[in-house]
Amino acid sequence: MVSEVKAISGRAIPLVGNDIDTDRIIPARFLRCVTFDGLGAHAFADDRAQMQGQHPFDLPQFQGAEVLVVNGNFGCGSSREHAPQAIAKWGIQALIGESFAEIFLGNCVAMGIPCVTASGETVKAVQEAIAANPQTTVEIDLNTMQVRWHQTAAPIQMGEGARNMFLSGTWDACGQLVSQAPAIQATASQLPYLRWSTAVS
């Protein structure tokens, strides 16, 4: 399953605010399911209900956007992959923000959704540009590590390991991991506790 992710380009949606947690992205009642199907409709369900149509995910000018632009510590809290799944199923293919919570970020990598960080000034400038003109195309380029919009470009950051996985199409690590069965067995055989806790099996 090799699928290289080198650049994402499309219209963008601004979501302003720090510390937006995964309970807000997808409230727990929507986790009562055994598939991720249909989660897109419930992304930010409670925030949207409270904002009565004024939440960015409800505004007509941002429908069809592919890049989500957020601020600090986005995706903090619960490890639920339902959160990035809901965002992805809504249509988002990449996120740019000031910072991301670690488990959220790891989930996005495993799903093939790049999350890149940029300075507060850059994020604010992109959010303002797309708010002023929702037709603005925002391009996130993992080769040059730049975000581009209008005639502007600014640097972006991403962990080197994750970046390599996107560029080489190995963000879905499962096959790579499974292929190493002998090495995995060798590591396991060196761990003393696997000998002691025979009662587990």
Partner 1 sequence: MSNGTLFDKVWQSHTVRTLPSGQTQLFIGLHLIHEVTSPQAFAMLRERGLEVMFPDRTVATVDHIVPTENQARPFLDSLAEEMIEELERNCKDNGIRFYNIGSGSQGIVHVIAPEQGLTQPGMTIACGDSHTSTHGAFGAIAFGIGTSQVRDVLASQTLALSKLKVRRIEVNGRLKPGVYAKDVILHIIRKLGVKGGVGYAYEYAGTTIEQMNMEERMTLCNMSIEGGARCGYVNPDQVTFDYLKDREFAPKGAAWDEAVAWWTSIRSDADATYDDVVVFDAATIAPTITWGITPGQGIAVTETVPTPEELGEDDRAIAAEAYQYMDLHPGQPIQGTKVDVCFVGSCTNGRITDLREAARFAQGRQVATGVKAFIVPGSERVKQQAEAEGLDQIFQAAGFEWREPGCSMCLAMNPDKLVGRQLSASSSNRNFKGRQGSSSGRTLLMSPAMVVAAAVTGHVFDVREWV
* Binding site residues, partner 1, CB under 8 A: 17-19, 21, 23-24, 27-29, 31-36, 46-47, 49-50, 72-73, 76-82, 84, 99, 101-103, 106-107, 110-111, 159-162, 164-165, 168, 170, 172-174, 176-178, 180-181, 183-184, 186-188, 190-197, 199-201
Task: CB nearer to partner 1: give 149 or 171.
Answer: 171
CA angle 77, 80, 81 (to 5 degrees): 125
* Angstrom distance (rounded) from CA 197 to CA 192: 9
Between the two ends of the chain, the Cα-to-Cα distance in Å is: 33
Task: CB nearer to partner 1: give 48 or 153.
Answer: 48
Closest by Cα among 138, 90, 91, 93 to 118: 138
Task: CB nearer to partner 1: give 151 or 196.
Answer: 196
Task: CB nearer to partner 1: give 145 or 153.
Answer: 145
Residue type, 148: R
Please state the closest distance from residue 3 (CB atom) to partner 1, in A: 14
Please state the closest distance from residue 59 (CB atom) to partner 1, in A: 20
Please state the closest distance from residue 8 (CB atom) to partner 1, in A: 19
The full DSSP string for 31-63 is: G--SS-TTGGGGTTHHHHHHHTT-STTT-GGGT
Residue 13's Cβ-count burial label (10 Å; 0-12, 13-18, 19+) is buried
Please state the closest distance from residue 38 (CB atom) to partner 1, in A: 12
* Cβ atoms < 10 Å from Cβ of 111: 16
Please state the closest distance from residue 96 (CB atom) to partner 1, in A: 17
145 in Cβ contact with 158 (< 8 Å): yes
Task: CB nearer to partner 1: give 34 or 132.
Answer: 34
Task: CB nearer to partner 1: give 63 or 164.
Answer: 164
Please state the closest distance from residue 135 (CB atom) to partner 1, in A: 28
